[in-house]
Amino acid sequence: MTYTIQGSIRLPGDKSIAHRALMIGAIAAGETTIDHLPDGGDIQTTIDVLAALGVNFEQTGTHMTVHGQGGFHWQTPTAPLALNNSGTTTRLLLGLLACPPSTILLTGDQSLSARPMERIAGPLRQMGTQIATTEGHLPIQIHPVANLHGTHIHLTVASAQVKSGILFAGLQADSETTVTGPVHTRDHTERLLAKAGANVVRQGLTVRIQPQTTPLQPLTIDLASDFSTAAFWIVLATLLPDSQLQLPSLSLNPTRTTLLDILARMGGDFQVVDFPRTDVAEPMGTLQVRQQSLQSTIVDATESARAIDELPLLALAATQAEGETVIQHIGELRVKESNRIAATETILQAAGAHIRQDGENWLITGPTPLNIPQHWPLIMPDHRMAMLQIATGLVAGAPVPTTVPNVVAVSYPELTYDLQKLVQFR
């Protein structure tokens, strides 16, 4: 079977922005309103832990009101804070709780408890936070301290989550905090904090934040559609014959759209068909995607760091490109919700793709016709890997799924409906 992608769809709101907006709303003075709040377990985790810390919420459908506390006035939770499987919630929350009123314990599920946390715990200790990990992982205890100290922090790993946690701690410090990273990562936190009245500026690879002496202002946000979710559809519409897809209200933040830059260099056909909205914290607009033949390329370390969540889907696209594509510096994929290097190779090789590792790089040769395996290999529960398997199956001509794995339904519950709406027989 051969498919095409046809239609227009507004995808769920951006989860990365939503986490940050909920947390900033929690410490602002007044009511923060968020429209197009996405469903999903990670967002609910953020809401639940903030509620356990004393924050009040009112939600009607996808509209959320956050009743801000006007500062870091946390209530002592009655039980450990369960972070479930949300790495974003965890790393950002550690910064919010860098100077807690009492000892707080944070826990996670088996997958989250295997992910590295010293990359955020270490910088927070430099600022004076009393934080104890379990051999570098969750569970984590944070103890009260008298105050935090502004400092200069140099990150060796490119991580917007770590940077954001440090910036949240910096709001509570006694002097300026600076964060310098190896590349310019997603800047959602800086944008939202500035909109809320924080003194935060970026100079090259360094972000500077001043202590907050007055409460932050509440936010009014219409969330752009999530680019990482859109990547699934962007790659499919690029690969499947005669496809034409429109994605309205899509996040066009240049720190998120590196995948488009790479695919465009490979020959992808993308066009913004209306003027991007500039009256919001995040630029957004309608992206049109058409099917196009691709050529191989080299994805350098900076691009890999900025498109880390989209690299498995980019690998799928590379299997259909002419020549050998090299994706450099893929090591960070090992410490996501699962080992995404191994899982990506397992899925693509099961369908007949030619992908192999060379040190910290992927070498992918194409174009290669993909086949439907008799049995898909077992992989660890990971929503992005499950979506990669679905996308690979569609490129190979497998039937359109009528249900999706629970791990996907938690993250993108609308996927089954969207598949039925957009994927058509050709």
Average pLDDT, the chain: 95
Q: Mean per-residue pLDDT for 57-67?
A: 97
pLDDT tens per residue across span 161-171:
999 999 999 99
Helix (H) / strand (E) containing 245: strand 244-251
What is the full DSSP assignment across 22-90?
Answer: HHHHHHBSSEEEEES---SHHHHHHHHHHHHTT-EEEEETTEEEEE--SSS-PPPPSS-EE-TT-HHHH
Catalytic choice (14, 187, 226, 309):
309
408: DSSP letter: H
373-402 pLDDT, tens digit per residue, is 999 998 888 999 999 999 999 999 999 999
Residue 280 or 64, more confident? 64
Q: What pTM, to 2 d.p., does this model score? A: 0.92
What values do phi and psi take at 376, rounded to 5? Answer: -70, 145
Q: Which helix (H) or strand (E) holds 250?
A: strand 244-251
Q: What is the model's pLDDT at position 413?
A: 86
Q: Which of 254, 246, 232 is nearest to 411 (CA)?
A: 232
In single-letter form, the type of residue at position 210 comes to: Q
Residue 276 has pLDDT above 80, yes or no: no
- 309 classed as catalytic: yes
3-state SS, residue 157: coil
Q: What is the pLDDT of residues 126-185, one digit of tens each?
A: 999 999 999 999 999 999 999 999 999 999 988 999 999 999 999 999 999 999 999 999
For residue range 310-336, what is the model confidence (pLDDT) as tens digits? 999 999 999 999 999 999 999 999 989
What's residue 24's pLDDT?
98
pLDDT exceeds 80 at position 275:
no
β-pairing, 130-134 vs 137-143, is: antiparallel
- Mean pLDDT value of segment 352-364: 97
